[in-house]
Chains A and B, each alone.
Chain A
Amino acid sequence: MGNKTPLYQCHLDAGAKIVDFAGWDMPINYGSQIAEHEAVRGDAGMFDVSHMTVVDVSGGAAKSYLQYLLGNDVARLKITGKALYSCMLNEQGGVIDDLIVYYLRDNFYRLVINSATREKDLAWLDRQAQGFAGLVIKFREDIAILAVQGPNARSKAIALFDDYQQQSLRQLARFQAAEFDDCFVGRTGYTGEDGFEIMMLAERIPNFWERSLAAGITACGLGARDTLRLEAGMNLYGADMDETTSPLVSGLGWTLAMDDDREFIGKKALLQQRAAGIQQSFVGLLLLDKGVLRNHLRVVTALGDGEITSGSYSPTLQQSIAMARVPAGTAGQVEVEVRNKMLKAEVVKLPFVREGKSMLNHEGNHQ
């Protein structure tokens, strides 16, 4: 028996197949993973992501603490509610976790971290807090999170809020959150579609789930969440990067703010890696032969071997796709070893899909 989110009974009522995910009993699908994937690409779907952890960081040193803790720079956050995606690195420049940080007001930030890394993250946050006076790190177990995603997700979800909130949510910019008395809504997500991530007190979320279902938002499981994020070219912690891999070989160089004099954990190692030359690149693969690419398969290129970090089937493209770490400079066609056979694949730019549309065959896409 694993941990259960406040929506566990709602999942059972909706016919979910429940699996263990990092110690949590979570819905993998409610019948068809592909149908759920298509609901998000074409209409609106929702995911219970309450297994993720909300951490509020406040106090006079909150900003300087997060500037030291994170690879991206929270000083970039100047507007209330603005969100930033960042890696949290160890001294070697490996990724402890990836997270979203929201700037709520001066000296008050909200982090959303992964569930599988919760314990080590919290220990790391505490350990690094030494020397930052007056810092308050609050682990919000009372908050549940529902992601509502898809081209119609915003309009369907907005109708579930009160008049004042509706007005505010209609104007909410991308990667921006609005904080209300009874909930917190970010225009963020992990699917490559527009939508919201909605946080509210755990006891209120079952009612909101039921009203969302009634509004025609499809219940979607973690299975669809994975194929959606893969199509969107978004990294999955533990598969695409971990403590042994640098953001510089994980397609996450864009999340690093390292060209000014700010000191942050891992910066020295990253600068050394960059000076020594980055030997690997992180790319998309499109399988040209029949079959399905899976995590850890060997990629054979003209420049040496690489490895698939996450692979699956793309319901949108109806082909198998993957993200892979390959020798720097790899382009064109490569081979992937699948059950002792060599299958042809093509190196492509990420993402594969954005807002319901294939990004393949656009000019300049193929590398």
Chain B
Amino acid sequence: MSEVPLELKFLSSHEWVLIEDNVATVGVSDHAQELLGDLVYVELPEVGGAVAAGDSVGVIESVKAASDTYAPVSGEVIEVNEELEGAPERINDDPYGDGWMYKIAMEDAEEVGDLLDADAYSETIADEE
């Protein structure tokens, strides 16, 4: 059973979001990294770029497969985790910590209401585990 921290929001496409002062920090869930296996490449959005909720903004690739990652909320990308370029395995080792991917300065706080809470996300992945 993979970990689903209660303080986070999620997309059904397995991204997690931490909302703090209008900034959304985004990563991929423990469940997703388990499904993908050892990650070997992460493509992140560009700092300063505008993204809209639901946009494909990057790719994570494991030995096995490539998977698009989607922006959970709209806004401007203000920071990316550059450590992932040389060490994508951080997502495997610590998906909710060192494995974070990027931060968005949110445009519309109400979009948070469209995200799944931890319980709802746990239900969506229950069938897969």
User: How many contacting A-B pairs (Cβ < 8 A)?
Assistant: 40
Residues B59 and A339 in contact, CB atoms below 8 Å apart: yes
Q: How large is the interface on A (under 10, 10 to 19, 20 to 34, 35 or more residues)?
A: 10 to 19
Residues A291 and B41 in contact, CB atoms below 8 Å apart: yes
A137 to chain B, nearest CB (A): 37
A336 to B37, CA, bound (A): 24
Q: Within 8 Å CB of A29, what residues of B?
A: 37
B114 to chain A, nearest CB (A): 27
Q: Within 8 Å CB of B40, what residues of A?
A: 34, 292, 313, 320
The yes or no answer to B79 lying at the interface (CB within 8 A) is: no
A185 to B61, CA, bound (A): 38
A290 to B43, CA, bound (A): 9
B94 to chain A, nearest CB (A): 15
A268 to B92, CA, bound (A): 53
A1 to chain B, nearest CB (A): 17
The yes or no answer to B125 lying at the interface (CB within 8 A) is: no
Which A-chain residue is minimally distant from B89 (CB atoms)? A34
Residues B41 and A33 in contact, CB atoms below 8 Å apart: no
Residues B41 and A32 in contact, CB atoms below 8 Å apart: no
Contact with A along B98-116 (1 / 0, CB 8 A): 0000000000000000000
A227 to B41, CA, bound (A): 16
Q: Within 8 Å CB of B41, what residues of A?
A: 290-292, 313, 320
Q: A34-B38, A292-B41, A313-B41 are in contact. Are A223 and B66 (CB under 8 A)?
A: no
A26 to B21, CA, bound (A): 47
Residues B61 and A223 in contact, CB atoms below 8 Å apart: no
Q: Within 8 Å CB of A315, what residues of B?
A: 63
Q: Which of A5-19 contact B (CB under 8 A)?
A: 17
B58 to chain A, nearest CB (A): 11
